[in-house]
Amino acid sequence: MRHRIAVVGGGPAGLTFARVLYRHDHPVTVLERDPAPDARPPGGTLDLHEKLGQLALGKAGLLAEFQALSRPEGQAMRILDTDGTVLRDWQPRPDDGANPEIDRGQLRDLLLGPLDVQWGRGVTEVVPGTRDGVLVRFADGRQETFDLVVGADGAWSRVRPAVSSATPHYTGVTSVETSLDDVDTRHPDLARLIGDGSMAVYGVNRALVAQRNSGGHVKVYAQFRAPLDWHTNLDRHLDLDDVEAVRSSLLALFDGWAAPVLDLLRHGTAFVHRPLYVLPVSHTWAHVPGVTLLGDAAHLMPPLGVGANLAMLEGAELAESVAAAPGPGDLDEAVRAFEEQMWARAGRWAKITAAGLERLVSPDPTEALALFDEVQPS
Ligand SMILES: Cc1cc2nc3c(=O)[nH]c(=O)nc-3n(C[C@H](O)[C@H](O)[C@H](O)COP(=O)(O)OP(=O)(O)OC[C@H]3O[C@@H](n4cnc5c(N)ncnc54)[C@H](O)[C@@H]3O)c2cc1C
């Protein structure tokens, strides 16, 4: 039996789900709000863990292609003191395949492959339990029904209200993101400072992280504890679209840090304001037949290197269960069992990442170093 299945969202969760179903020859409708794959910048690099994201890619039959694209050297991690002293300089072995990095755009294209995504189809509402199944309403006024609707539509999911009243709340940490292009030729000193992977500097309630992507592109994240409306509480209201004003504010916030570290902000090309939101730790819901959630829609957590990994593994696991479910009753049982498994694993990671954020952007910067020493293999 072929269930009518829709997945809302073409991020890591939705695309992995669809790609594994495709491998099992099961039809799936992929509904994505963006009008095209490259409608907005894809975001920074992702490290895919052997037992999470890479496992999912194996289930999609894409592991070899991932290995050809990914950057094992990108696992390198350097930690500096705010005065520029190198405190840790961890390098992976050449054959270390534990957590190689891949650009999000490359991962998206790898997962997209032969999939027939419906672009520009923003979902506004999902209504379970109608006579013909689960009703999906679209921003353009159209509607369609399915046997199963999977919400893989990220932090501000429009599918989530069909199963849960939970909404994301602010962590107290804000991230302002900037980037540098062609770093090896334009900023060779910064290229050396960052190395092959990531570089992080931890101060009192502040962190500055630079991550190398492919092609000499570097993403820089300035993170700090602040009220959500910090930019309206300065001497003068800060216009977040005014690049030079944001740069000056950040340089003032990180005042006293070593000049080469601050050069990451001085040379940044544009700034994107991203307050960090999370869903409640161990978010679950009473099972609703015909609707479920994956990835950030189900368990948004601080960005500590695991969200996309979980999203992908969940997508792959749910797809395998759905493809193996012959009748409508089996489909619902498969989804129930999947949810139990997802909640248990995501709950553990939500606790770990919540505690991690407390220590990485902390009044005591030695906590960040201690955390690094606990998790980094020697
Ligand atoms: C700075 C930063 C760095 C990170 N680094 C890492 C890392 O190294 N490793 C890691 O594992 N995780 C990392 N994460 C977390 C990771 O990005 C997320 O957990 C992951 O993207 C979640 O995938 P998703 O598919 O659930 O949601 P998303 O990636 O948010 O994708 C959701 C998709 O749904 C679409 N959509 C939204 N609303 C609708 C709608 N109404 N209708 C139709 N489509 C819709 C969106 O356009 C989008 O394509 C990081 C996060 C941040 C912010």
Convert the pLDDT of each residue in 118-164 to its tens digit: 999 999 999 999 999 999 999 999 999 999 999 999 999 999 999 99
Query: What CA–CA distance (Å, rounded) separates 268 from 89?
Result: 24
Q: Which of 112, 153, 213, 357 for a ligand 1 pocket mutation test, highest count of atoms within 8 Å of Cβ? A: 153
Query: Residue 183 corresponds to which amino acid?
Result: V
pLDDT per residue as tens digits for the range 309-321? 999 999 999 999 9
Q: Which of 33, 118, 309, 361 for a ligand 1 pocket mutation test, highest count of atoms within 8 Å of Cβ? A: 33
Q: Which atom of ligand 1 lies nearest, measured to the CA of 15?
A: 25
User: Residue 179 above 60 pLDDT?
Assistant: yes
Q: Which atom of ligand 1 lies nearest, measured to the CA of 295?
A: 26
User: Residue 202 above 60 pLDDT?
Assistant: yes
Residue 116 CA, ligand 1 centroid: distance in Å: 20
122 CB less than 6 Å from ligand 1?
yes
User: Residue 174 above 80 pLDDT?
Assistant: yes
Looking at ligand 1, which residue's alpha carbon is closest to its atom 4? 303
User: Residue 361 above 60 pLDDT?
Assistant: yes
CA angle 53, 57, 60 (to 5 degrees): 145
User: Residue 12 above 90 pLDDT?
Assistant: yes
User: Residue 37: which H helix or E strand, with range?
Assistant: none
Residue 132 buriedness (CB in 10 A; 0-12 / 13-18 / 19+):
exposed
Residue 326 CA, ligand 1 centroid: distance in Å: 31
Q: Which atom of ligand 1 lies nearest, measured to the CA of 276?
A: 53
| Three-class SS state of 124 | strand
pLDDT per residue as tens digits for the range 63-104? 999 999 999 999 999 999 999 999 999 999 888 989 999 999
Q: Which atom of ligand 1 lies nearest, measured to the CA of 12?
A: 25
Looking at ligand 1, which residue's alpha carbon is closest to its atom 52? 303
Token reading at 282: 């161990």
Contact status, residue 195 vs residue 76, Cβ threshold 8 Å:
yes
Question: How far is the first Cα of the chain from the last one, in angstroms, to the nearest whole number?
Answer: 51
Query: What CA–CA distance (Å, rounded) separates 64 from 90?
Result: 26
Residue 80 CA, ligand 1 centroid: distance in Å: 29
Closest CA to 168 of 280, 325, 76: 280
Contact status, residue 253 vs residue 206, Cβ threshold 8 Å:
yes
pLDDT per residue as tens digits for the range 26-61? 999 999 999 999 999 888 999 999 999 999 999 999
Query: Residue 15 corresponds to which amino acid?
Result: L
Contact status, residue 299 vs residue 310, Cβ threshold 8 Å:
yes
Contact status, residue 92 vs residue 253, Cβ threshold 8 Å:
no
Contact status, residue 8 vs residue 151, Cβ threshold 8 Å:
yes
pLDDT bracket for residue 1 (50, 70, 90)? low
49 CB less than 6 Å from ligand 1?
no
Query: What CA–CA distance (Å, rounded) separates 15 from 23?
Result: 12
Query: What CA–CA distance (Å, rounded) separates 190 from 80?
Result: 13
User: Residue 378 above 60 pLDDT?
Assistant: no
Summarize the confidence of residues 262-272 as an average pLDDT.
Answer: 96
pTM over 0.75: yes
Closest CA to 12 of 105, 100, 75, 99: 105
pLDDT per residue as tens digits for the range 231-254? 987 777 899 999 999 999 999 999
Query: What CA–CA distance (Å, rounded) separates 79 from 21?
Result: 41
Summarize the confidence of residues 106-128 as an average pLDDT.
Answer: 98
| Three-class SS state of 254 | coil
pLDDT per residue as tens digits for the range 270-307? 999 999 999 999 999 999 999 999 999 999 999 999 99
209 CB less than 6 Å from ligand 1?
no
The per-residue pLDDT for 377 is: 61
Q: Which atom of ligand 1 lies nearest, measured to the CA of 31?
A: 43
Contact status, residue 48 vs residue 66, Cβ threshold 8 Å:
yes
Strands (E) located in the chain: 5-8, 29-31, 45-47, 77-80, 86-90, 101-103, 117-118, 123-130, 133-138, 143-146, 148-151, 169-180, 198-203, 206-212, 218-225, 272-278, 291-293
